[in-house]
Structure 1
Amino acid sequence: MARRRGLAGLEQVLTELTTDDVSDEPDAALLRAAAAGDADAVALALRAGADIEARDEHRRTALLLAATYDHVAVAQVLVAMGADPDALDDRHDTPWLVTGVTGSVAMLEALLPARPDLTIVNRYGGVSVIPASERGHVDYVRRVVSTGIDVDHVNDLGWTALLEAVILGDGGADHQEIVRILLAAGADPTIPDGDGVTVLQHAEERGFEEIARLLRP
């Protein structure tokens, strides 16, 4: 697979290194290497027979560990070898969902070739753009809205990405830019929260004047 995909470095690891250095059980070695960010050790563990979908005590796969700790090179190896970007752990996180929390555009790009399911939701019922908007991950939001993700998805709290950016944001430059990006991507500012309060009303109540200006018709 590495040869067919033109991944010369990975091919070299898989063909030239020996598995004698894999002193641990291969699945455990794979998970440890993924968490540590050691792409060569990941490839070596796979060559030694590790299950690419092996789970740790929290049901995290190697790819989920790589995404959690933002080890992009490890993720690239695992994606090239067919790792599942939609594997759920015991907190209902997937490798893809984690990128919305970390805000890593590089990891997002590493996972896209695996065609992650953008509709899988986290434990709050949200897609990745929602926590990214809350946390002020401007570059991530700018990139993820171009993937076809539903910018109007409503989570279990009754909040869209726009609502979360205002309700849980600080009203500063980053959250202002996220509101601009979401609106430009077609987000509907008239969708209210579960109590019927609109994002404009929330912005006005919180004194976020620039955001309120952006939201007014």
Structure 2
Amino acid sequence: MEANIKETSLIHAVRLGDHELIAEQLKQESNLEAMDDMGRTALMIAVQQNDVDAVTQLLLAGSDPNNRDHTELTPFICAGANGFSTSLKLMAAAGADITSVNRFGGTALLPAAEKGYLQTVEMCLNVGVPVNHVNHLGWSALLEAVILGDGGKLYADIVQTLHDAGASAQLEDLDGKSAVFYADAQKQDRVLGILTDTLEDRQHPAIREAKELSCEGNYHAASEVLEHALETAGDNLDLLYNAGYNLSAQERYEEALERYRQALAVEPEALEFYFYIAGCYRLMNEKEAALSEFDKGAALSLENSFFLYHKSNYLRELGMHEEAIDVMATLVNRHPSRYDFWFHKANSLCSLGRHEDAIAAIDYAINLQPDNPLYQKHKEQSMILLERH
């Protein structure tokens, strides 16, 4: 019993973000890998809270970055999926398995590319996460960035980064379609130009200089270059995007938000900037503000499901599965042939214990992609849980 009290105390200290209390508990703690009722270790909770100091304390004490929670998620993959680049780098240095996969068969790189975390994509590649790994949906990081991206400035940079790292543009998913096919079908002209090596380099010289500096980790100097260029070039959307991104990479989120809002004032139809604003709020842990920005983008692009999908993703991260299901219901009504949408809906239903509904949703995915064993596995899990209840 005493050990359990100590274990609970460490996890409680991490939840509080009390670093002095964490240090005290670590002096007494014999089991760093004690878990809460969700299978999360103290390290996993620290990562989820983006508490870099706590992550550092726990890793120095010997916490394992490879332990899995009840959803088969490791702290390392969790950092990638949430855009927490510093924690990801720390865990890689502490012995994290960079090739480990989540329950969907994806490495840390895949969700980072899917969700638009450019800095984390770069970090994953820097620590050696394989660039062409394919998950159980048949998608690589490049395919995810194209299929689930909007082809805008941020996703074009992610595609360029993956392309430069050797990502295969011809690798086909389970439907026999490549990133080139999807980029063309979705009219992502800039992305298509990158994938086919036909994109003309029309970047402002300041952007090229800033990218070289940021690649060296010198984001402050990159920001200075971009801010100086904005003083002379006026309201240039590419400069404003890059200025905002560099500020965000330095955790100067309020300043980044100013640049993104400035871009929308210049070009109200540049809807991708709502996504960038939402991304800042996510990293600031301002949940309602982030959800509001997703809603603004969705309301202004009714024919495009990009904002709704990423809102549903964020809701699932927050554990707001009822709200996520409502969004996914809209998405599957719009796109009944998207097996991945049905799959995500099924997962949220399962998380709420609505196993009959989850089985019905996963059956749609199975009908659309009958050869994918992932769907059958999740259906069997829901059937087992249904019988238990």
Q: TM-score, structure 1 length as denominator? A: 0.86
Which has more radius of gyration?
2
The match for 1:41 among 9, 17, 21 is 21
* 1:95-125 deviations in Å (ceiling 9; x for gaps): 1000111111111122122110011111111
1:152-171 matches, within 5 Å, as 152-171=132-151
Correspondent of 1:89 among 69, 72, 76: 69
Hey, what does 2:90 align to over in structure 1?
110
- Report what 1:209 is aligned to: 189
The residue type paired with residue 148 of structure 2 is L
C-alpha distance in structure 1 between counterparts of 2:153 and 2:13, whole Å: 38
Does the 8 Å CA contact 1:30/1:50 hold for their aligned counterparts? Answer: no
In 2, the alpha carbon distance for the partners of 1:89 and 1:136 equals 24
Gaps of at least 5 residues in structure 1 are 1-23
Looking at structure 1, the residues matched to 7 and 19 of structure 2 have their Cα atoms a distance apart, in angstroms, of 15
Which secondary structure state, in structure 2, belongs to the residue aligned with residue 25 of structure 1?
A: helix
Aligned mates of 1:84, 1:52 — CA distance in 2: 8
| CA distance in structure 2 between the partners assigned to 1:216 and 1:55 by the alignment | 48
Aligned-partner Cα distance in 2 for 1:32–1:142:
33
Q: 2:40 aligns with which of 60, 65, 81?
A: 60
Does the 8 A contact of 1:142 with 1:181 survive in 2?
yes
- Residue 170 of structure 2 aligns with which residue? 190
Aligned residues: 194
Q: AA paired with 1:43?
A: A
Aligned residue number for residue 69 of structure 1: 49
Report the Cα distance in structure 1 between the residues aligned to 2:131 and 2:12, rounded to whole angstroms. 35
Code of the residue aligned with 2:119 in structure 1: it is: D
| Match in the other structure for 1:12 | none
Aligned-pair CA distance for 1:50: 4.9
> Which has more helix, going by share of residues?
2
Deviations 1:43-82 (A, max 9, x none): 2112233521110001100001111111100010010011
How far residue 36 of structure 1 moved from its aligned partner, in angstroms, is: 2.5
The one-letter code matched in structure 1 to 2:175 is D
Deviates most, 39-48 or 177-186: 39-48
1:163-206, CA deviations, whole angstroms, 9 ceiling, x for partnerless residues? 00011112111110000000111111110111110101101111
Secondary structure of the structure 2 residue equivalent to 1:100: helix
Aligned sequence identity (%): 36
**One of 76, 79, 89 as aligned partner of 2:59:** 79
Match of 2:293 in 1: none
Supply the distance in 2 between the matched residues of 1:110 and 1:147 (Cα, whole angstroms): 10
Does 1:181 pair with 2:158? Answer: no
What CA distance in whole angstroms lies between the structure 2 residues aligned with 1:127 and 1:109? 15
Cα contact 2:146–2:179 (8 A) shared by 1? yes
* Alpha-carbon distance between aligned partners in 1 of 2:134 and 2:155, rounded to the nearest angstrom: 19
